[in-house]
Structure 1
């Protein structure tokens, strides 16, 4: 294990979330820019219709791909922007709809109601994750031997649970995700992990950090833990500060930590996907 503290000067989980078998699919709402193509993709997950979001680089050669798991607010514009940015880096990217029907939350109570079942039943959440993963692998231009997943807040927790439960990816990244989850098993956890954590995250106390590191160290897991001084929960989302004020949540945007963590992700991908 490597623990790295980034020299920066630099959500809301509410105990759970953040301040955000595949059948034949159909695609709609295709859009184009100079460098990428985007589209909504409808697929089936755990008996429900899910509405994911795909972004493709202009180049049609086979590429590594990244699955993106949203904050507890659902698959919103922020998640789509991150998905687009991954495509601009040269990855095929696909954003998961963990709630089905494209549902999103307008307040913390709605977000908790949507996110809660995924925490309460990790295996069902993994099935939703896996349905999206299968959909990603079926998209044009995907090199299925080079797949990663990233997640934000709630999504970070879902990514960590998926790889702890045996999903075999080339890389997994959690941005300000919760660290309490299913137990780590050395026979199941084989994916290299990058944790991007705000050092001032009130929703993930130091005791959770200590326990998480100890658990992964005990099984010899391949992980890197990076902390960003001054960064709170949801530090990558530019809307977090205003959302925190609106709902009295301990979340805020931190531009330095956002940039540093994105660069750390890019370096991690260079190591494991290329």
Structure 2
């Protein structure tokens, strides 16, 4: 009996030693912006595995974006939450967030360079298979990953969660190499029906392989449990809100999507 208990304790100890490892990685974009990425992986997995870039909401590289990197690591991916604003900036005040976002997007070439810099850092990690890369993004970040797909970056796929759909540089026939999954809230007041129609038309004309999922009763920000707090009260934020069912459904869709594109 004692021997049995000892073996059980040894086995449990071995399991608890495996953990999600995280670290901050400083890097720099070609525009000179110094950035801080948040990297996560499961050290129980040996060898390279698919890599996923996580692009934050317009609030910046906050705890939510980092949590999603850890979630992806828990699924067996090499995940890097990248920094699109520089210096790891983040805020809970909409006016500041809007200023950060507008600065990052004022030059599309700079925005693309910042995404590429993060992607390059992910590829350089020994846990990453550089031939199996994807990106996910939330809100502002959803628009960033869709633009990466429009530009034909070497990604197997991208997933946009309550992301911006409009663009100043539409996809052209044959330009989209990545498969696309869009998880959209049916009650998202920040994305108009015309935006949705224009996006679908753009993707159809470009011949893109995409899936557009409209989630009932979901507002903008539906994946973030902090959305209700950030969208009301003293913050005076936009019309956003968390929706547990939509959050879980969209994450399940993403998992199935990744299983398919990485197989």
TM-score, normalised on structure 2? 0.90
Deviation at 1:185, TM superposition (A): 1.4
Cα pair 1:83 1:93 within 8 Å, conserved: yes
Match of 1:251 in 2: 240
Q: Which runs of 4+ in 1 moved over 6 A?
A: none
- 2: distance between equivalents of 1:156 and 1:163? 11
Match of 2:194 in 1: 207
Give the 5 Å matches for 1:112-261: 112-181=98-167, 182-246=169-233, 247-261=236-250
Match of 1:29 in 2: none
Match of 2:25 in 1: 41
Deviation at 1:135, TM superposition (A): 0.4
Structure 1 residues 21-68: Cα deviation after superposition (integer angstroms, max 9, x where no partner) = xxxxxxxxxxx9843100000011120210000001121311001000
Deviation at 1:141, TM superposition (A): 1.2
Cα pair 1:184 1:216 within 8 Å, conserved: yes
Aligned residues: 243
| Aligned partner (choices 74, 81, 96) of residue 67 of structure 2 | 81
Match of 1:55 in 2: 40
Do structure 1's residue 267 and structure 2's residue 256 form an aligned pair?
yes
Cα pair 2:175 2:206 within 8 Å, conserved: no
- 2: distance between equivalents of 1:62 and 1:252? 37
Deviation at 1:234, TM superposition (A): 0.3
| Aligned partner (choices 46, 62, 68) of residue 54 of structure 2 | 68
RCO higher in 1 or 2 (8 Å CA, sep ≥ 6)?
1
Cα pair 2:174 2:207 within 8 Å, conserved: no
- 2: distance between equivalents of 1:132 and 1:48? 12
Structure 1 SS opposite 2:39: strand
Could you tell me which runs of 5 or more consecutive residues in structure 1 were left unpaired when the two chains were aligned.
1-31
- 1: distance between equivalents of 2:89 and 2:46? 31
Q: Which has the larger Rg?
A: 2
- 1: distance between equivalents of 2:237 and 2:67? 25
Match of 1:26 in 2: none
Deviation at 1:242, TM superposition (A): 1.2
Cα pair 1:196 1:227 within 8 Å, conserved: yes
Deviation at 1:215, TM superposition (A): 1.1
Deviation at 1:118, TM superposition (A): 2.9
- Over the aligned positions, Cα root-mean-square deviation in angstroms equals 1.3
- 1: distance between equivalents of 2:164 and 2:25? 28
Structure 1 SS opposite 2:175: coil
Cα pair 1:122 1:161 within 8 Å, conserved: no
